[in-house]
Structure 1
Amino acid sequence: MTDKSQNLYSKFLLIWFGQFISVIGSGITAFALGVYVYQLTGTASSYVFILMCAFLPPFLLRPYGGILADRHDRRLMMILGDFGSTLGLLFIFTMMLKGNIELWQIYLGIAISSVFSAFQEPAYKALVTDFLPENQYAKASGLMQLASSAQYLISPFLAGIILTIMDIKFVFLIDVTTFLIASSIVVWIRKTLGGVTIKKPEKNNMADLREGVQEFSKNRGVVNLVITTMLVLFFVGLLQSLFVPMLLNLTTVKTAGITQSICASGILVGSMFIGVFGSKNKHVKTLSISLFISGIFFANLGLSTNIAFVTLAGFLFFATLPFINTSIEVLIRKNIDNSKQGRVWSIISMVTYLGSIIAFTVSGFLADKIFNPLLEADGLLSQTAGSIIGVGNGRGIALMFIISGLMISLIALLIWKNKKIKELENIESQDNKLSQNKYYVET
C-alpha cells in the first residue's frame, strides 16, 4: 500500500468511526421510542409505523440524493445530512419538554430526521470507492456493516441503562451529540484534504437520473441480483418490524434489549472476520450458501418460546448477514463505473428497500389481524401449528418468521442457479480501475 493510499485509508477509518458513533446514537433513539410507543398502544402497527417514518422519506428521495452525491463533494453531502438529521430529533425533544406529546409528533420528528439520510447515505457508500482501491472494498464493506450493527448490538443495551437513570427526552440530546461528532470529523477531513473538483460536465437532474438508471439496467446480472435482494429484504423487513414486539410478548423490556444485543453480536463476529481477513473471490457461492443457512436460522426464531433458543437462533442468523451483504456489495461495486456510483447506489437502494417498505406497510396488519388471531387459544391453527410453536400473544409473528426463513432459503437456491448473477464474478472492473481516485481531485 502506497503512502497516499495509506493516508486515504486512515481518513476513511476516521469517517467510519464517526458514523459508528452516530449509528449508536440513532439506535438508542430507535429502541427507546419503539418500546415507548409499543407500551403506550400495545399494537404492532404503531411500532411498525415508526419504521415507516424512518424508511419512507429516504426511500423516496434517495435517487435525488444519489445525483447530488455524484455532482457535489460527497463529504459535504455527508456533513449536510448529519447536521440536518438533528432537526427532527430537536423537534421531538421540544415537544416532550412541553408535555403530553402525541404520536403524530413523534412520527413527524422521525420523518424530518430521516429525510436528510437520503442525502447522507449514498454519499457515504460512494465515498468508499473514492478512498480505497478495489482489493479493499470487501474489508471496507465489513467495517461499514460492523458500524451498522452497533444500533442492534450496543444501542439496546445502552438504551435500557439510560432509560433507567433519565427521562426518554434526553435520549434525543445524546443522539444529536453523536450526529455532531460524526459531521465534525468529516468537516476536519474535508479541511485537511482540501476541496474537490468533480470531473463531470454539468447536467440537469433528470439527465443524471436517466444516466444512473441506464448504468444500473444495462447489466442484467446486477438487475437480477438487486431484484432477488429486494425479495430477501421483504422477509428481513418482517423480522425487523416484528422481532421486538414478539420479544416483548415473551419477556421483559430489559431482557428484550439484552436478547437483541446478543443476537446482533452475530453481525459483529461476521463483520470483524470480513474486516480483518476480507473475503474470497467466489462471492456468488458465498452469497448462496450464506443466504440458505441464514434462512434456516431465521425460521428457527419462531419455533420456540424459550428465550435462550430464540437468542441463539437470532445470533446465528445475524452472523450470516455480513457474508451476504459483502458478497452483494462487491459484486455490484466492481460492475459499476465509479463516476456513476452515487446515482446507481441510490437507485439500487431504492429498489432493494422497496422490499422493506412493503414489509413495513403490511407487517402490522398481518400480525395484528391475521397471524396472531390464528394462533390464539381458540384460533384456527391453535391445534395444528400451535401444537408445535405454541399459542398466545406473539405466536402468529413466530409463524411469520418460520415461513419467511424458508422463503429466504428458497431464494438462495434461485441465486445459485442464475447464470447472469454468476457472470458478475468474472468482471475485471476496468472502468472502476481507471476511474479509481480520479473522480475527486484535490485542490
Structure 2
Amino acid sequence: MAKQSFKTFSILWFGQLASVVGSGLTGFALGVWVFQETGSVTLFSFIIMAAVVPGVLAAPFAGYVVDKWKRKYIMIIADVIAGISTLVILLLLMFDVLEVWHIFLTSAIASFSSSFQLPAYQSTVALLVPKKQLGRANGMVQMADSLSMLIAPISAGLLLGIIGLEGIIMLDLFTFIIAVGTLIVIKFPELAKETTAIKSKFVKEALKGWTYIKERPALVGLLFYFAFVNFLLGYLNVLIQPLILMLSDEKALGIVISISGGGMLLGGVLLSIWGGMKDKMKQFLLFGMLSAIGLSIMGLSSSIVVITIGMFITLALIPFGNAAVQEIWQRKVHANVQGRVFALRRMVGLSLSPIAYLTAGPVTEKIFSPLMSENGLLSTNLGLILGVGEGRGIGLLFFTLGILWLITGVAYYAHPRIRRLDHELPDAIDAPELAETNNPVLEQKVVSVKG
C-alpha cells in the first residue's frame, strides 16, 4: 500500500509547477495577442469566460468521476487533453490561420479538462500528506501559482521578441510532458472503497457532494463567500491587463504582473515555512480583508507604481487565505466525497464569475468611465482623490470592489457560526482507508491544466 509521503507530494507538486508555469507563458502571450489584434475589452473577457464556464458546467460530473476512479489516471488524462488543445493552437499558428474563435474553443476544452484535474489534485493532497503538514503543502500549492505569475509574464514579454509565440507554446508543451512524466513515476495512495465500482444512479451519487455540504451550514456559508468574492475579482481579472495597456505598454504589463506575482510567491514561501495560524477560519477571513484593502489601493491612482503596490499587497496576502480555507475543506470533508465536494465548491465559487466577465466591458464603458471623465458626475468629488480621465473609471471600479470585499469579510467574521467553524466542525480525515495505485501499463513511459 502506498503510504503518505511529503516526498511523493513534492514530486507531484514539481510536475504541476512546471505545467502551470508553461500554461502561464502561453496564457499571457495569447492574452496580449488577442487584445492587440482586436483592441476589445469585451472580446478579451470572452476569452476568460471560455476558460471558466465549461469547467463550471462540468463540475458535478467531474466530481463524481474523481471519487469513483483512480485520481492519478484522471490527472494524466486531463493533462493530455489540455496538452492537445495547446498543440492545436500551435499548429493553427504555424499555418497562419489562428483566429480569436480558435482560442475560445481551445480555452473551453482546457477548462473542461481542468474541471477534472483540479479536484483530483486538491483531494490527492490530503491523501499524500499527513494532516499536520497540510498547511505546509497548501502553502507550496499557492507558491506554485505565485511562481507562474512571477515568471510567466516577464518571461513571455522577453521571449515573444526572441522565439515568438510559437516558441512559447512549444515550451508549454514541454512542461505538459514534465507534468505527465511525474504523474507516471509516482505511486498515489487511493481510497479503497469509493474508488471501486459501486452500482448506483449517477445523479444520486453526484448530489452526495451537495448533501454533504448542506448538512454542515457553515460550509454552505463559505460557498456563498466564494461565489461573491470571485464575482468581484472577475472584474479585476478582465480589466487589469487593459488598464495597464491603456496607461503604458506590454513590457510594463509584464513587469506589473511579475512584481505582483512576486508578492504572491513571497506569501506562499512565508506560509510554507510558517504553516499559518492555528485557527484557519480566522486566518482565512483576516487575510481576505487585508487583500481587499490592497484591491482598493489599486484604484486610488493612475500611477503604475500605486497600481503595482496595491496588486502586490492583494496577491501577497491571498495565499494565506486560500491555503487556510483549502486546509479547512481537506480536513472537514471525508476523503470518499472530496472529489464531489471540491468540484461542487469550484462550480458554486465560479458560478457568478461569468456575469463579471460579460459585464466588465459595458459596466466600465457605460457607467464608471463616464462618471470619472473630465465632466463626469463624480469628477469634482471623487476625482480629487482618484483622478479623472483615461483609466479612472476602472480605478473607481477597483476601489469599489475592494470596499465590497472588505464589508463581506467583516460581516462573515461577525457571524459566530462561520468564525468558529474550525473549532465546531469535527475533522473527517484522521484515518482514510488507502489502497495502492499501480497499473503496469501506465508505469511505462507515456508522452502527453485553473485557471
Say whether residues 1:123 and 2:120 are aligned partners. Answer: yes
Q: Tell me which amino acid in the other structure corresponds to 1:184.
A: G
- The answer as to whether partners of 2:139 and 2:323 remain within 8 angstroms in 1 is yes
- The answer as to whether partners of 2:131 and 2:430 remain within 8 angstroms in 1 is yes
Map 1:140-151 to 2 at 5 A: 140-151=137-148
Q: Give the Cα–Cα distance (whole angstroms) in 1 for the partners of residues 239 and 348 of structure 2.
A: 22
1:231 to 228, 235, 240: 228
Deviation, structure 1 residue 390: 2.1
Map 1:193-212 to 2 at 5 A: 197-199=192-194, 200=196, 201-212=198-209
Q: Which residue of 2 aligns with 1:342?
A: 339
1:112 to 103, 109, 112: 109
Q: Tell me which amino acid in the other structure corresponds to 1:394.
A: G
- The answer as to whether partners of 1:375 and 1:395 remain within 8 angstroms in 2 is yes
Q: Give the Cα–Cα distance (whole angstroms) in 1 for the partners of residues 317 and 352 of structure 2.
A: 20
Q: Tell me which amino acid in the other structure corresponds to 2:29.
A: A
Say whether residues 1:353 and 2:338 are aligned partners. Answer: no
Deviation, structure 1 residue 118: 1.2
Q: Which residue of 1 aligns with 2:283?
A: 286
- The answer as to whether partners of 1:270 and 1:319 remain within 8 angstroms in 2 is yes
Q: Which moved more, 1:70-79 or 1:107-116?
A: 107-116
- For residues 348-372 of structure 1, give each alpha carbon's deviation from its aligned partner in whole angstroms, at most 9, with x where no partner exists: 1111111323222221221233222
Q: Tell me which amino acid in the other structure corresponds to 1:73.
A: K
1:410 to 407, 411, 416: 407
Q: Give the Cα–Cα distance (whole angstroms) in 1 for the partners of residues 381 and 39 of structure 2.
A: 27
- For residues 66-106 of structure 1, give each alpha carbon's deviation from its aligned partner in whole angstroms, at most 9, with x where no partner exists: 11111011011100010000122122222222224221122
- The answer as to whether partners of 1:216 and 1:222 remain within 8 angstroms in 2 is yes
Q: Give the Cα–Cα distance (whole angstroms) in 2 for the partners of residues 43 and 92 of structure 1.
A: 21
Deviation, structure 1 residue 442: 5.1
How many correspondences in the alignment?
435
Q: Which residue of 1 aligns with 2:435?
A: 440
Q: Which residue of 2 aligns with 1:253?
A: 250
Q: Tell me which amino acid in the other structure corresponds to 1:325.
A: N
Q: Give the Cα–Cα distance (whole angstroms) in 2 for the partners of residues 167 and 15 of structure 1.
A: 30
- The answer as to whether partners of 1:87 and 1:112 remain within 8 angstroms in 2 is no
Q: Which residue of 1 aligns with 2:129?
A: 132
- Aligned pair in 2 of structure 1 residues 439, 362: CA closer, same or farther (>3 Å)? farther
Q: Give the Cα–Cα distance (whole angstroms) in 2 for the partners of residues 287 and 115 of structure 1.
A: 28
Q: Give the Cα–Cα distance (whole angstroms) in 1 for the partners of residues 421 and 434 of structure 2.
A: 23
Deviation, structure 1 residue 202: 3.8
Map 1:179-218 to 2 at 5 A: 179-190=176-187, 197-199=192-194, 200=196, 201-218=198-215
- The answer as to whether partners of 1:45 and 1:368 remain within 8 angstroms in 2 is no
Sequence identity (%): 31
- The answer as to whether partners of 2:281 and 2:420 remain within 8 angstroms in 1 is no
Q: Which residue of 1 aligns with 2:441?
A: none
Q: Give the Cα–Cα distance (whole angstroms) in 1 for the partners of residues 247 and 407 of structure 2.
A: 29
Map 1:39-438 to 2 at 5 A: 39-190=36-187, 197-199=192-194, 200=196, 201-427=198-424, 429-435=426-432, 438=433
Q: TM-score, normalised by structure 1?
A: 0.93
The unaligned stretches of length 5 or more in structure 2 are 439-451
Q: Which moved more, 1:317-326 or 1:287-296?
A: 287-296
Q: Tell me which amino acid in the other structure corresponds to 1:90.
A: L
- The answer as to whether partners of 2:127 and 2:190 remain within 8 angstroms in 1 is no
Q: TM-score, normalised by structure 2?
A: 0.92
Q: Tell me which amino acid in the other structure corresponds to 1:159.
A: A
- For residues 276-316 of structure 1, give each alpha carbon's deviation from its aligned partner in whole angstroms, at most 9, with x where no partner exists: 12112122222232122211111010111121122112111
Q: Give the Cα–Cα distance (whole angstroms) in 2 for the partners of residues 321 and 374 of structure 1.
A: 30
- The answer as to whether partners of 1:231 and 1:355 remain within 8 angstroms in 2 is yes
Q: Which moved more, 1:173-182 or 1:16-25?
A: 173-182
The unaligned stretches of length 5 or more in structure 1 are none
- The answer as to whether partners of 1:221 and 1:423 remain within 8 angstroms in 2 is no
Q: Which moved more, 1:246-255 or 1:341-350?
A: 246-255
